[in-house]
Chain A
């Protein structure tokens, strides 16, 4: 007989008594006190596991940073930071890569920041809950989920070939801009949401129009939070490799870019090339570590600034 099915009155009674036994029977061989002790013990055990899982994140971050710093710091000196690669990239520095990554990041920000902030303003200030807003949000979350290599192919097909920009700084910046757009929208939206509604009401109550309220009241108080989002977008764009592989970056170019239609070198791509396709992979290991160290100092530095700035803002808000 299937014990969970209740067909007759007898079944019902037996089921009921079983259940009641489970619930109220604390008087068995074990006293309720020792049971409580066991429950507390389990709690302690699992909380320790949770703590270990959380700590593991820190350990992994530390290990990665430790390896890069301990192997990379010796490669870094003034020549390394201020010269172009030499002898088919086995000697010399990484200046063109630093400049390229900086320009790509800033270019991406110039493209994505205005569009991102404007989208956030629409979502938080103008849009009413409904179908349109739902579609816009769905578009943003799906854009955030597009794989970076697909952005690279899109940039190749659209900017490089269809719009005839060629492999260039401009095509790379536009591709990276499209990719970092969701990051900027997300954090701008959060910043706008944090502006208290009383500000808006006070401004509207004084007779200001909606746009005047946004421009003179909402945006100034949300500005620091929005800029934090910009920094995060910049760091995301600077660290990406796949989107620029076919749109902007080249193995080697001795000169710095003169116009937006020039191709560039970039730190992430330089690491990839040296580590997988260089002429002497083992011999240039210290250069690879050095380049990786410069990249994470840039990226993690930007992120730290954003995190610290944001936590200060939050404290001020309270």
Chain B
């Protein structure tokens, strides 16, 4: 009886350990299959031409597979959306964790969660049929489907990520620090800026990076709203074609295991690298600069 129980214990422990590695197995499988389908494009084109070629004409003859405009589009959309989302997200987080009364908090937190739950295709659709005509009329521009519109939509998709992680970080700053600062005569605001935010800075940076990672990988919004022109943008009202949008739009038409198909997989490798890097940095920051008690301040 005891023997059997112990055997079962061991079996269960091993089973759960094994299952816990499923996420890593999936991650590995993703990497393997992306490379398997993406690398063949480099038989046709050099790595340098792929990254820095400024022409993306995958269907012309001979085709051009230069993803530089797509990378620039992805980065500019991400940076512009971050410049909107970071202040709003962090301010919302500080408001929720430091200023708001519990009742207001109970109201706004679900709203932020619902904002995060909106399907990306719905936000893309909203950007297309409501925001685009509005921008076109207000700023008198050729098309409302452009870099700015996409960044605005992406900003409101990454605010919930930035807000909820920053809020956790601000919330977990020990109360003793706040009390010490207030006792020295600082106002609530000064306490927030000089004590609480510096103490929570690693969590806030993690939040920002994860929010940007979400923005760069988001597909439907850039597919529907960014305009789709594969050129290096010269103003924020230019239409652009970001990497995820390009993959999603062209994959259906790319001939199976043709050059175009491989090129799209190679683009996905680049995109995957970007988000992987963002996540590694976020993980590193949250471990390295973690606030342990009051001592490390």
Contacts and interface: CB of A to CB of B under 8 A. Distances in A.
Contact of A150 (B34, B94, B106, B124): B34
Contacts of B8: 209, 211
Interface residues of B, number: 88
Contacts of B280: 138, 142
Interface in B267-297: 268, 271-272, 275-276, 278-280, 282-283
A313 interface: no
Interface string A287-318: 01000100110011001100100010000000
Contacts of A245: 248, 251-252
B276 to A, nearest CB: 6
Given A241-B219, A242-B248, A307-B110, A272 B224 contact: yes
B92 A157 contact: no
Contacts of A16: none
Given A47-B99, A150-B268, A178 B26 contact: yes
B88 A56 contact: yes
B139 interface: no
B99 A51 contact: yes
Interface stretch (B15-23, B65-73, B233-241): B15-23
Interface stretch (A3-11, A73-81, A116-124, A197-205): A116-124
Nearest to B213: A145
Contacts of A157: 33-34, 36-37, 265
Interface in B138-158: 156
B153 to A, nearest CB: 10
8 contacts: A64-B118, A68-B126, A145-B275, A146-B217, A148-B220, A153-B251, A154-B29, A157-B36
B120 A240 contact: yes
Contacts, number: 264
Contacts of A67: 126, 130
Main SS of chain A's interface residues?
helix
B217 A147 contact: yes
A1 interface: no
Contacts of A248: none
Nearest to A118: B19
Contacts of B125: 271-272, 275, 288, 292
Given A119-B20, A239-B120, A245-B251, 17 more contacts: A39-B190, A50-B99, A57-B108, A57-B163, A61-B118, A68-B126, A115-B19, A118-B15, A145-B275, A148-B217, A152-B219, A154-B30, A154-B33, A157-B34, A211-B8, A295-B122, A299-B119
A2 interface: no
A242 B244 contact: yes
B216 A147 contact: yes
> Considering the complex of A and B, which 6 residue pairs feature the smallest CB-CB distances, nearest first?
A147-B217, A239-B119, A139-B24, A53-B91, A122-B20, A43-B189
B180 interface: no
Contacts of B271: 147, 149-150
Given A126-B13, A241-B219, A54 B91 contact: yes
A141 interface: yes
Contacts of A42: 189
A49 B90 CA distance: 12
A268 B122 CA distance: 8
A113 interface: no
A185 interface: yes
B275 A148 contact: no
Q: Which of A60, A139, A145, A299 has the most CB of B within 10 A?
A: A145
B122 A311 contact: no
B46 to A, nearest CB: 23
Nearest to B274: A147
A145 B276 contact: yes
Interface of B: 5-6, 8-9, 12-13, 15-17, 19-24, 26-27, 29-30, 33-34, 36-37, 87-88, 91-92, 94-96, 99-100, 106, 108, 110-115, 117-126, 128-130, 156, 159-160, 163, 187-190, 210, 213-214, 216-220, 223-224, 244, 247-248, 251-252, 264-265, 268, 271-272, 275-276, 278-280, 282-283
Given A39-B187, A53-B87, A209-B9, A295 B119 contact: yes
Contacts of B17: 122, 126-127
Given A42-B189, A275-B224, A57 B115 contact: yes
Interface string A262-278: 00000011011001100
A138 B122 contact: no
Contacts of A61: 111, 114-115, 118
Contacts of B156: 57, 60
B126 A150 contact: no
Contacts of A126: 13, 16-17
Nearest to A311: B106
A260 interface: no
